[in-house]
Amino acid sequence: MLTVLILLIVLMILGAVVALESRDLLSGVISLGICGFALTIAFLLLQAPDLAIVQIIVETLTLVILIAAILKTTREDTSEPLGFRKILLWGMGLVAIAAFLLVTVGVLRHLPPFGAPELRMAQPYIDGGLPQTGAANLVAAIILDYRGYDTLGEATVLFTAVAGTVAVLRSVGRKHA
Amino acid sequence: MRGMTIIVQAISRLMAPAIFLLGVYVVLHGHLTPGGGFAGGVLIAGAFVLLVLAFGSEEWRSRALNWNATALESFGLFFFWFLAVLGMVQGVQFFVNVIAKSEPGTPYRLFSAGIIPLCNTAIGIEVAAGLFSIFICLAVMKMGEKP
């Protein structure tokens, strides 16, 4: 399973790089889809069906929205090529990647092995989820009972995002219309 | 936005109710099976997005639809807040599962787990209406058009 996971992660990195580098916005969006759907398969392999369902549906709807937005506006990436500044940016990026890898290798050495987490907080949830809340789906018991406050904040964030989108895209105010 | 060909329209007319129903199922069974308010809400929004893409936005009178979507989104969030404050009204903590405390219900049944199915319904309404408003704004509205 670890081999399949590594293959999926390599595929996701390739998709992300193609999405960043392509000049055609439609192929960029489709490469982004590779990233999301590979993540769905990874969630399924790691036995997280809740996350997999949310990921595959949100990914599909996001792709549809992005493609519809591209079809209504422009398909061409109209930003100017960076020229010689590109070399400087590549150099800084490589330095940042090297520093990140160095720190990550140092941190990963102290982590518990894959599949054996040392979370002490998880065991009371797993033991008491069904008797305390009555919800058979442990994920629902956690996000809507134990951690309901977080979910409330998340719903508020989504509401604020939608309100901002509607307010920005409405170029005529209510008073003047 | 113009609609698509009659083949796409016929297929989406068949598929959209099924997608909508699957979304409602996922929302209502969120405390029993994988899924929940967020996934089911996005499914419900997807059914409407499919219809708008297939039939075009003129047919849907997007202004009235978008107003309904915005109002429903506010209602979903308000319902969720109401359920959260219900615990304080009862004199316990914020966000306590008040229904499960008084009537526990049988686990693995549809009517169990107290306010968790109600919270899932609230989140489902909010997510479906919110994502559909974003889609209408980004893909359908012309520049300068009032929502």
Chains A, B: CB pairs < 8 Å: 155
Tokens 């929502």 locate to B147
Residues in B closer than 8 angstroms to A149, CB to CB, are 84, 94-95
| Interface ipTM | 0.80
pTM check: above 0.90:
no
pLDDT computed for residue B141 by the predictor: 61
What domain range is B86 assigned to? 6-140
pLDDT computed for residue B51 by the predictor: 85
Tokens of A45: 């392999």
Residues in B closer than 8 angstroms to A143, CB to CB, are 36
The CA distance from A146 to A148, in Å, is 6
User: Is residue B1 domain-resident?
Assistant: no
- Asked if the Cβ–Cβ distance from B116 to A145 is below 8 Å, we say yes
User: Is residue B74 domain-resident?
Assistant: yes
Which residues lie closer than 8 Å to A108 by C-beta, 6 or more apart?
none
User: Is residue B107 domain-resident?
Assistant: yes
User: Is residue B72 domain-resident?
Assistant: yes
Q: pLDDT digit string (tens) for A99-124? A: 999 999 988 888 887 777 777 777 78
- Measured in whole angstroms, the distance separating CA A51 from the mean position of its chain's CA atoms is 11
Please tell me the distance in Å from B94's CA to the nearest CA on chain A.
9
Give which of A20, A54, A55 is closest to A36, Cα–Cα: A55
How many structural domains comprise chain B?
1
The CA distance from B23 to B38, in Å, is 10
User: Is residue B45 domain-resident?
Assistant: yes
User: Is residue B145 domain-resident?
Assistant: no
- Asked if the Cβ–Cβ distance from B113 to A166 is below 8 Å, we say no
The CA distance from A145 to B114, in Å, is 10
Tokens 């404050």 locate to B85
Q: pLDDT digit string (tens) for A58-104? A: 898 888 888 877 877 777 777 776 677 888 888 999 999 999 999 99
| Best residue in B31, B63, B77 for a mutation probing chain A (most A CBs within 10 Å) | B31
Q: Which of B32, B74, B137 sits opposite A137 (nearest CB)?
A: B32
